Structure 1
Amino acid sequence: MTRESKTAECLFCDIAAGRAEASLVYSDDAVVAFMDRYPVTPGHLLVVPRGHMVGLEDLDPGTGARIWGVGHALARALRRSQFRPDGINVLLCDGELAFQSVFHFHLHVIPRYPGDGWEIEPNTHERARDLLDGDARVIRNAINGATPDRLTP
């Protein structure tokens, strides 16, 4: 696993197993979705796999597809609900440096409203084409080493 093995205390495992309190929105044999206890905005949801997976490296393609499919369906439901967001962020934080705070894989579905106070302001800079080409080559080389079941075109 990417950061740590399953510990005796994983809040999201406990929620998925019904051992911890959560405001459930959706549940099936592979995933559960519930309200974020510390929401960015009202309606902020988390979609998590039932099995303990820390990050992207731990996620098998079927579970990943299921998480994304449920997240997509819930984003559509949010738009149709009384929440009526003007936008939606779908956010994945993979690793501590990427702001992951609970080390059980989870997808955020965050409804957005004018003046909601949450901002993403990256400090981006244009990168030279030769550097981008080099970056692309490094990633292509990593793809060539990936097994077909871990990569879809």
Structure 2
Amino acid sequence: MDCLFCKLVKGEIPATILYQDEDVIAFEDIAPQAPTHFLVIPKRHITTLNDITESDTNVIGKLTLVAAKVAKEKGIADDGYRVAMNCNEMGGQTVYHIHMHVLGGRNMTWPPG
């Protein structure tokens, strides 16, 4: 498997790590779309949201908890932030390892592009 995020998890690709435990890792986005933009991913490879199973419930919940924790540490929690997960090509997914985008530090518009 030639997954970019799996390589990052293994330490083969450098990243600015914001949080890490046995299940998930959060890191700065390399092409930020807001003043604060980081990703939260499971360490275990899950290709798309469509591939999540009941056994993934805990790790998917943990993604959300870590997103909120890091948002607070980054100082964007009180003002607000956006969380987005893209699924497949038409949903805007470009790396096929599920990941949660967390964006803040500016006003977000609706609907997103």
TM-score of the pair, normalised by structure 2 = 0.80
Q: Among residues 14, 20, 33, which one is paired with 1:21 in the alignment?
A: 14
Q: Among residues 55, 58, 73, which one is paired with 2:51 in the alignment?
A: 58
Measured at CA, do residues 86 and 71 of structure 1 come closer, stay the same or move farther in structure 2, by a change above 3 Å?
Answer: same
Larger deviation: 67-76 or 51-60? Answer: 67-76
- The percent identity for this pair of structures is 30
- Aligned CA-pair RMSD: 2.5
Q: Among residues 20, 26, 30, which one is paired with 1:33 in the alignment?
A: 26
**8 Å Cα contact 1:31/1:67 also seen in 2:** no
- Larger relative contact order, structure 1 or 2 (CA cutoff 8 Å, min sep 6): 2
More strand by share: 2
> What is the one-letter code of the residue matched to 1:119?
T
Partner of 1:119: 109
Query: The residue matched to 1:94 in structure 2 has which SS?
Result: coil
TM-score of the pair, normalised by structure 1 = 0.62
Residue 64 (structure 1) shift: 4.3
Cα shift readout 1:34-75 (whole Å, capped 9, x = no counterpart):
111111112211111112211113223454433433433433
Query: The residue matched to 1:44 in structure 2 has which SS?
Result: strand
Structure 1 alignment gaps of length 5 or more: 1-6, 123-153
Write out aligned runs for 1:55-94 (5 A): 55-82=48-75, 86-94=79-87
More helix by share: 1
Runs of 4+ aligned residues of structure 1 deviating over 6 Å after TM superposition are none
Residue 105 (structure 1) shift: 0.6
Query: The residue matched to 1:103 in structure 2 has which SS?
Result: coil
Query: The residue matched to 1:89 in structure 2 has which SS?
Result: strand
